[in-house]
Amino acid sequence: MKKFRFILVLAMAVVISGGVVSTSSVVNAATDINFGSRTVTAGCARRWFPKGQTGYTLTNGQNQTISVTVSTKGNNIGIGFMKYSTKTNYSYYSGVLSGTSVTKTKALSGATASYQPYVANYNDTVQLKINSGYAKMQ
């Protein structure tokens, strides 16, 4: 009987731990977020995050990549990750593009938390047309 109880408890532990693992959020797991083709109004930012969640869990010191391609060069943009709880932007690039694309990879310098990749349009009146873009959590 003791052996049966031990096996039953062990089986329940495996089932419970498996359930916890499958529902946890992404933590630096080589996750690609495809921005697709989008527009961003002048003076605004667009953020991407999983439906029904506050963002992707990123770890301080881990490398993250963010890339965006736009229709025309000369757009004044910002890209990076926004910490959801404080709405703090961790900028990976900010400025006027000399070409039509920018890709930046660096270690996240913020605390481990939920983050949302963002593309900001710093143009005064011009709507930003994103042809493609992605963020990669590694």
Look at the alpha carbons of 62, 23, 52, 32 in this order and tell me if their dihedral is positive or negative.
positive
Q: Alpha-carbon distance 9 to 5, whole Å?
A: 6
Q: Alpha-carbon distance 84 to 113, whole Å?
A: 8
Q: Alpha-carbon distance 11 to 22, whole Å?
A: 17
Fold of 26-137: Jelly Rolls (2.60.120)
Tell me the pLDDT band of 23, cut-offs 50, 70 and 90.
Answer: very low
Q: What is the average per-residue pLDDT within 100-107? A: 93
Task: Give the CA angle between residues 127, 133, 137 to the nearest 5°.
Answer: 135
Question: What does the pLDDT read at residue 12?
Answer: 54
Joined together, the tokens standing for residue 71 give 């229709």
Question: What does the pLDDT read at residue 90?
Answer: 92
pLDDT digits (tens, 9 = 90+) for 32-84: 888 889 999 999 999 988 777 888 888 888 888 999 999 999 999 999 999 99
Question: Per-residue pLDDT for 8 more than 60?
Answer: no
- Among 5-19, 81-95, 105-119, top mean pLDDT goes to 81-95
